[in-house]
Structures are given as C-alpha cells and as structure tokens.
Structure 1
Amino acid sequence: MNFEAKLAAPTPAVSGAEPALARSFLPITALSLAIAAGFTAMMSFGTVQEAAKAELGLSDAVLGLIQGVSAAVPLVLFSIPIGILVDRGNRMRLFIALALTWTLGTAITAYAPNVAILFVGRMLTGIGTTGALTAALSLSADLCGPTERGRGVLLISLGKALGQAAAFAVVGWTFGYFVQTSAANWLGLAPWRSTHLALTFASLACILPLLFFREPPRHEVEAQVGAPFRVLAGEFWERRGFLLPLFAGQVTVVMADAAAAIWAAPVLGRDFGQQPQDFAGWMGAMMLFTGIAGAVLGGIAADAGQKTGRRGGLLIGAVIAAVLAIPAALFPLAGSTTLFAIALGTLVLCGTVTGLITSVALTVFVPNELRGLCIGAFIAVAGLIGFGIAPSLVTLISSLLGGEQHLATALAGVGFTVSLVSLGAFVVAMRNAPSNATEPVR
C-alpha cells in the first residue's frame, strides 16, 4: 500500500463503552508535545521579525502579508480538504505528514533568500500546524468519552499554549544567544535564521514519539464514516443555527489574538523601547501561564457547563471569557510595560478559554463523520479573516491614522471592535446549541 493509500485508509466506526482518558494519556501527551513544536514554529517569526525586516529591507505592510496572508490563503485552500481527510482517513499518519510539512516550512524560513521564498516557508508552517491541530482534536475526541472531553482537549490546548509561550521565550532566548555569542554565524546564517534552523531539528525530535501509536477507533457516528458529501452537507445545514454563530464568535476571537500575536513585539520595540531579548523572558512566561491557565479553566468550564443540564451550558465559560476580553484588547494603549503584560495576558487567557470550549463544543455537538470537516471549515474561515485580514487591517488603520507610529492605536481599535462582536455571537450560539451530537439544532 502506497503512502497516499495509507493516509486514505478509513478508520472503522465502533460503538460500546466510552474510552477512558487515563488509558489514553500517553498518546494524547505525544500529540500535545508535537502540537507545541508546531505552534512554536508557526509563531516564531513574529518574535524575530524586526531582525528579518532589517536584513531584507521589509516594510510593515510586507510583514503583515508574510505573517497574515501567507497563513490565510493556503488555510482557505487546504483546511477543508484536510478536514475531510481527518474524517475519512488514518488521522495518526495524516498528523505525522502535516508535522513534517511545518518542519519543512521552518527549514525554508531559515534559508529564505527573498520575500517570495520566505512567504512559502511561512505558508507551509501554517498549513502543517493548523491542519495537524484538526487531526489532533479529532484523535483526542476518540481517545476519551464525551464527559471527559474537556480534559482531553485540554491536553492538546496545553501543547498549543506551550508552543505559543516557547515562540516568545525559547525563540527570543535562542535569538539572543546567537546574537551574543560566536554561534551567531552558525552555518553562515544570521541569528534569526539560525534560530529557525534550530527549531527545525527540535521539531523532528518531537515528531518521533508519534511513530509508536496507532489510530483509535471512531465513536459517536450518526451516518457512517466516508458518507457522501451531500449527507455531510445536510448534517451541517441542519446545525447552521448553532455552527454559524459559533464560528463567528471564535473567528473574531482569532482576529484579536492573531493581530496581538503578530504586532505585540513591534509595539514593545517602538513604543516601549524593548528588544526581543528584553521581553522574551517575561512575555514567554506570561504566555505559558495564561495558556495553561486558560486551557485548564476552559476544560473545567466545558465539562462543568455540560453538568448544568442547561441547553448550551457548555458555552457559558466562552461567554464569560468574551466579556473579559473586551477591555483587555486595549493592551497596546497601556501606560506601562506591566499594564501591557497584564492586559495582553488577559486577552490570551480569554482566547485560550474560548478556543478550547469551541473545540469541545464541536466534538460534543457534532457527529464524528462531520467533525473534521467542521474544524477544517472553521480553520479556513479563521485563517482567511483572522490571519489574512486582521494583521493587514491593523496596518491599514495605522496608515489612515498617519503612519507606522500609530500601530498601537490601530491594534487596540481592531481588538476592541472584534471582541464586541465575539460576545454577541457566542450568546446566540449558546441559545441555539443542540443537546448532543446526533440531535439537529432547533
């Protein structure tokens, strides 16, 4: 059987007792570690982009395209096909293939001689990481039962949080190491390039444990694995009253978070006089703490919300987090680095909570054969709007305000506005939520 056939090999659907989270801890942890490596690679460029800007002579507008559009366009093209593969094929093999894709993209970033090649490298990193996240969420859902799913997805979210924190702390420290020591010219590369080459080798090491785990059987199938697309489209349409506002709520959260992740470091450099090695430590620690806390709170809130017995109770935590994110989005206008860190940390915390609860909602309220497609569709929309529009929207607004010196004001305005939209969308999704995966929405 060739590689493509192996990826497409279906996973049998089964019924019976729920799988226990305790027995699946090792494979979920291995997936979490790999996801951490992927998100470190995906977000690494933002930490060192000022050095790349200086070397390649880039403008903020070009940086916005590299950071945003390079991720958004391929996500729109590939996320839904990847989601369909997740629903129909061997998810573990697919995950490994996508992990190798983000690793290749990181290596290309290290050696990119111009903007076009750099764009391709960041594009591959985004495709691999976000596609692998879809597979990881589907795998974790079948490695534990619905009543434990918040905690199962929590482990995947912890990996994502660890990767986001490492993108600041580890990448910033590594960049500073290459700048300050004789290793700065490692293999003839500039420090920001050497940093990405080091990430390439680290990523390969994190992928190896996945070779020892098998594909789990699928649970909670309404139609059948590999059902015709018209059947899946019908199932999606029946749930549109829930899925569309849920997507809108989390996509606008992604807009705020993506803009913050891409432009926080430049704001710190321009408005607060900090260099990557100055803010890498505290920002990395803040990202790690809020990521872990957000994953824990989101997982507990999702499972606790289900126990309330209230329709849509699983989303109560997402609504609360959306409320708190509105003032936190004003972090670029903070009067001190301390207030900047507190507000940004709150925004990241709330985004992690809503992201995890949204993921749990898709695994609890959507049948198995539709989950990958829904997650892929969400990633496609989030990629187009969150990564493709939000970063460039910030630069457009700053330009309208008078130039790059207004970056902080533009970033605050975008974050505040989209956070308001997310709150309303989550409220609607909560009201329209079904009772379980096989019940159509009212």
Structure 2
Amino acid sequence: MAKVLNRPEIADTLALRRRGLTLTLLTLTYFFSFMDRQILAILLEPIKRDLVLTDTQLGLLSGLVFALFYATLGVPIARLADRTNRRNIIAASLAIWSAMTAMCGVAQNFTQLLLFRIGVGVGEAGSGPPSQSIIADLYPPEKRASAMAIYSLGVLLGGGLGIMIGGNVAHAYGWRAAMMVVGIPGVVLALIVRFVMVEPRRGLSDVARVAEETDEPLPGMWHGFLQMLHNGAAVYLVCGIMLTSLVGYALTGWGPSYMQRSLGMSMLDVANYIALPAALTSAVSALVGGAIADRMAKRHGLHTQPWVIAVMKTIAFPFAVGFYFIDNVPLALTSYFVASLFAGAYIGPTYALIQHLAPLRLRAMWAALALLFTNLVGLGLGPLAVGRISDMLAPTYGTESLRYAMFAVALLTPVPIFCYWRAGVLMRRHR
C-alpha cells in the first residue's frame, strides 16, 4: 500500500530529475520539425526549374497548403493532449512528418509534392502544443521564459541547419536526396522520444494553481476558445506572434531565393556562409531575450516581458528593412545579421506568457489556438503573399520583383510591435 501511495512522488521526482533531458528531446524534436519544414526554402530554385513551377505555386508549397493542415489539426490534437499521454502523441507525430519529408524526394510533379507537404503538415500538428504544455509543467513561471527560449532553438537552428544541409546535399546529389537526408533521421528520434522521455504530472510546477483548478471539469473546446478571447493580454500576444510570424515566415522562406536572385549568391554560398551564422545569431537572440525577459519579470513583474520583445523588435526593424535596399553584399549581409541578433527574442517569452495565462488543464489547447492563428496567417499567407506579389511585379521589375515583394511584407513589423506593447499594458493592469 505504501508503495502505491509513493508512486506519484516517485514519478514527480523522476520527471523533475529528467527535465533537462526532456527539454533537450523536445528541442531536438522541434529542430527536426523546423528543419523538415524550412528545407524547402533553399530548394525552391532547383524545384522550380525541375518541376516548372511559378512563384505562386512555390508560395503555396512553402506556406498555405502546409499551414492549413498543420494549424487546423493542431487544435483537436491538443484537445487529445490535454486528456492523454503527450509524449506518445509527440513521438507518433515526429515519425509521421519525418517519413512524409523523405517521401517529398520522390515527387514527380506539383500535385505529388503538394500531397507529401500536406503529410508533413499533418504530422507536425501534433508536436508544438503538447511540447509547450510539458515544458510549462516542468518549469515554474520565473524560469519558464528561459526554458521556452531553449526550446525555441529548435526553430532557429533547425531552419538554419536545414538550409545548410539541404543546400550542400542538393548541390552534390540533387534536391530529392536532400529531402530524404533530413527526413529519415527523425524516425529514429521518434523512437528515442517514446522510450526515454518521462510524461510529467499536469501542473507539477504550479502547486497553488493545481489546488484551485484540479477539481474543475475539463472545459469544452469552444469554452476554452472563449476564455482566451476574453483575456485581452492573451489576444494581443497571439496577434503579436501571428503578425511577427507572417513577416518572419515570408522573409525566411524566400530569403535564400532573394540572395540568389538579387545579391548574386549561389545556393552553395547561402548554405555554407549564411545559414549557420544566421541560425546561431538568432539562437543567441532567443537565449539572451529569454534570460532578459525572466530577469525583468523577477524584478518588475511578468508584464515587462512583452515590452522586452517590443524593444528588441524595434531595434531590429530598420536593419531588416535596410537589407532589401543595400546592393553591396557585405553591407547587406551585415544588416541582415544585426536584424537576426534582435529578431529572435520574441519566441520564448511569448509562448511562456501564453502558458502562464492559460488555465492549467487547457495549456495544450491554448498553445494550439496560438499556433492555429500564427500558422494560418503567418505561415499560410506570408510566403504565399510574397510569391503572389513577386509574380505581379515581375512584368515591371523582372528578377528584382522579389526584392520589392519582401520589402512590402517587412513594412508590417510596427503592427506586432504595438501588439506586444499593448499586451504588457493589459498585464500590468490585471496583475
């Protein structure tokens, strides 16, 4: 009998003892997620030539089609994650999207490639919300932004290394081989996640809130959405990250093509000399941004974290815009790297704050709702908008049409800056 009573304590101790390992595995999973998602960026030009596609079709493959399934399926899967074992959902999802990425390498036309990209989106829908929910259970509020910042390294390093690996493999063996090389290892990682990661108890790091909320029935999906809608700070945070992602996905998705078309760089140059340094710069931005956000929260309250993001984005904005109007390659790339140094600071604090504002038993669902809007608008419309605008401007500007299309999207940045500022104001009023 004593052994039975002690089992929850033993499980909690094991979960906390392994939380560093769990965070590492979740970060690696996110790494593979973004690598498989973003590898298309460096492969757009050879795919365009091989399959004879337009920029609009490439924008669909990069954004909208993937995002529709990735974002919409995220909500019901998150609902499942709030009820069942999150680790198993993450492992199964990782196996699915990795296999679909590898299958992209055998596509013979636009339709086949489109279907395999849908498969990638379906798989990736089950990763983010349960991962964020697990991290929130393992780390208390005063450490959560830093933990989420570490988790966000999967985005920043995954995108950069995906471009580097994809570019080099594509240069040597073609774009189809590149898809297979980045897809297959994810299946192995899925097995490691399934048999090594420990599923933590919900609310493990929020003892006081557990006492208040665990006796309440699990709210319905619609009620959960209404709860988020009536939380003004959460709404502004979601709007902030949604519009930031629209600009970010648009510019990172087309960045390698822009460097090749307008700056005269080769695919191999972008892969070897831009991708990894940009990823590392953004990683530093995320880690430092998360640490600053946690320090500011400890000293002045959590409401200061959105303001940290707003300040970082304001500093990055002129350098991001300047990148599209500097023809000197070294100066243009310097502007690009300076922007990257500040632009990645938003990810960790934003998702940490959403998890803090969410009811304990709706953490995965709130994460999924945030990802729903972020990816439908950001990932779905960002790359597509750039591709469509580029096609429209091509008769006038030729190969330079992409430059002006990306500049037009970058000009949206002040809107999310305002959203983050406003979120901080609302959080200060209700603390």
* Same fold, TM-score > 0.5, yes or no: yes
Deviations 1:95-118 (A, max 9, x none): 011101211220221111221121
Is the counterpart of residue 378 in structure 1 residue 370 in structure 2?
yes
The structure 2 residue matched to 1:94, chosen from 89, 97, 100, is: 89
The structure 2 residue matched to 1:322, chosen from 298, 313, 316, is: 313
Deviations 1:107-139 (A, max 9, x none): 221111221121122222234335312222111
Q: CA 1:339–1:78 in structure 2 vs 1: closer, same or farther (change >3 Å)?
A: farther
- Mapped to 2, the partners of 1:290 and 1:126 lie a distance apart of 27
Q: Which residue of 1 is the match for residue 183 of structure 2? A: 200
Deviations 1:369-426 (A, max 9, x none): 222112111111111111221222223333443445211111012112x211111111
Q: Which residue of 2 is the match for residue 182 of structure 1? A: none
Q: Which residue of 2 is the match for residue 75 of structure 1? A: 70
After TM superposition, the structure 1 = structure 2 runs for residues 42-53 of structure 1, keeping only pairs within 5 Å, are: 42-53=37-48
Q: Which residue of 2 is the match for residue 171 of structure 1? A: 166
The structure 1 residue matched to 2:106, chosen from 88, 91, 111, is: 111
The structure 1 residue matched to 2:388, chosen from 380, 385, 396, is: 396
- 1:197 CA displacement: 1.1
Instruction: Between 55-64 and 284-293, report the one with greater CA deviation.
Output: 284-293
Q: Which runs of 5+ in 2 are unaligned?
A: 1-6
Deviations 1:26-45 (A, max 9, x none): 12112212221221111111
Q: Which residue of 2 is the match for residue 425 of structure 1? A: 419
Is the counterpart of residue 223 in structure 1 residue 225 in structure 2?
no
Amino acid at match of 1:39: F
Amino acid at match of 1:428: R
- Mapped to 2, the partners of 1:82 and 1:372 lie a distance apart of 9
- Mapped to 2, the partners of 1:58 and 1:273 lie a distance apart of 21
Q: CA 1:196–1:402 in structure 2 vs 1: closer, same or farther (change >3 Å)?
A: closer
Is the counterpart of residue 271 in structure 1 residue 265 in structure 2?
no
Task: Report how many aligned residue pairs link the two structures.
Answer: 411
In the alignment, is the contact (CA less than 8 A) between 1:46 and 1:265 conserved in 2? yes
Deviations 1:65-95 (A, max 9, x none): 1111122211342121122223222110010
- 1:306 CA displacement: 1.0
In the alignment, is the contact (CA less than 8 A) between 1:39 and 1:129 conserved in 2? no
Q: CA 1:152–1:278 in structure 2 vs 1: closer, same or farther (change >3 Å)?
A: same
In the alignment, is the contact (CA less than 8 A) between 1:35 and 1:156 conserved in 2? yes
In the alignment, is the contact (CA less than 8 A) between 2:34 and 2:158 conserved in 1? yes
Q: Which runs of 5+ in 1 are unaligned?
A: 1-11, 179-190, 436-440
- 1:334 CA displacement: 2.4
- Mapped to 1, the partners of 2:279 and 2:383 lie a distance apart of 23
TM-score, structure 1 length as denominator? 0.86
Q: Which residue of 2 is the match for residue 408 of structure 1? A: 403
- Mapped to 1, the partners of 2:373 and 2:336 lie a distance apart of 24
Aligned partner of residue 293 in structure 2, secondary structure: helix
Q: Which residue of 2 is the match for residue 307 of structure 1? A: 298
Q: CA 1:140–1:198 in structure 2 vs 1: closer, same or farther (change >3 Å)?
A: same
Amino acid at match of 1:25: G
Q: Which residue of 2 is the match for residue 341 of structure 1? A: 333
Amino acid at match of 1:30: L
Instruction: Between 115-124 and 242-251, report the one with greater CA deviation.
Output: 115-124
Question: Relative to total residues, which structure has the larger helix share, 1 or 2?
Answer: 2
What's the % identity of the aligned pairs? 24
Deviations 1:337-358 (A, max 9, x none): 2233233334444442111110
In the alignment, is the contact (CA less than 8 A) between 1:13 and 1:218 conserved in 2? no
After TM superposition, the structure 1 = structure 2 runs for residues 289-304 of structure 1, keeping only pairs within 5 Å, are: 289-304=280-295
Amino acid at match of 1:361: L
Q: CA 1:48–1:70 in structure 2 vs 1: closer, same or farther (change >3 Å)?
A: same
In angstroms, what is the RMSD of aligned CA positions?
2.6
Instruction: Between 311-320 and 377-386, report the one with greater CA deviation.
Output: 311-320
Q: Which residue of 2 is the match for residue 255 of structure 1? A: 246
- Mapped to 2, the partners of 1:48 and 1:237 lie a distance apart of 39
TM-score, structure 2 length as denominator? 0.88
- Mapped to 1, the partners of 2:115 and 2:316 lie a distance apart of 33
In the alignment, is the contact (CA less than 8 A) between 2:99 and 2:184 conserved in 1? no
Q: CA 1:65–1:296 in structure 2 vs 1: closer, same or farther (change >3 Å)?
A: same
In the alignment, is the contact (CA less than 8 A) between 1:319 and 1:426 conserved in 2? yes
- Mapped to 2, the partners of 1:13 and 1:243 lie a distance apart of 32
Q: Which residue of 2 is the match for residue 157 of structure 1? A: 152
The structure 1 residue matched to 2:33, chosen from 15, 35, 38, is: 38
In the alignment, is the contact (CA less than 8 A) between 2:60 and 2:384 conserved in 1? yes
- 1:233 CA displacement: 4.1
Aligned partner of residue 49 in structure 1, secondary structure: helix
Amino acid at match of 1:260: L
Q: Which residue of 2 is the match for residue 4 of structure 1? A: none
Deviations 1:240-264 (A, max 9, x none): x111111111111101110111111
Q: CA 1:245–1:128 in structure 2 vs 1: closer, same or farther (change >3 Å)?
A: same
After TM superposition, the structure 1 = structure 2 runs for residues 349-364 of structure 1, keeping only pairs within 5 Å, are: 349-364=341-356
Aligned partner of residue 357 in structure 1, secondary structure: helix
- 1:61 CA displacement: 1.1
- 1:21 CA displacement: 6.7
Q: CA 1:204–1:76 in structure 2 vs 1: closer, same or farther (change >3 Å)?
A: closer
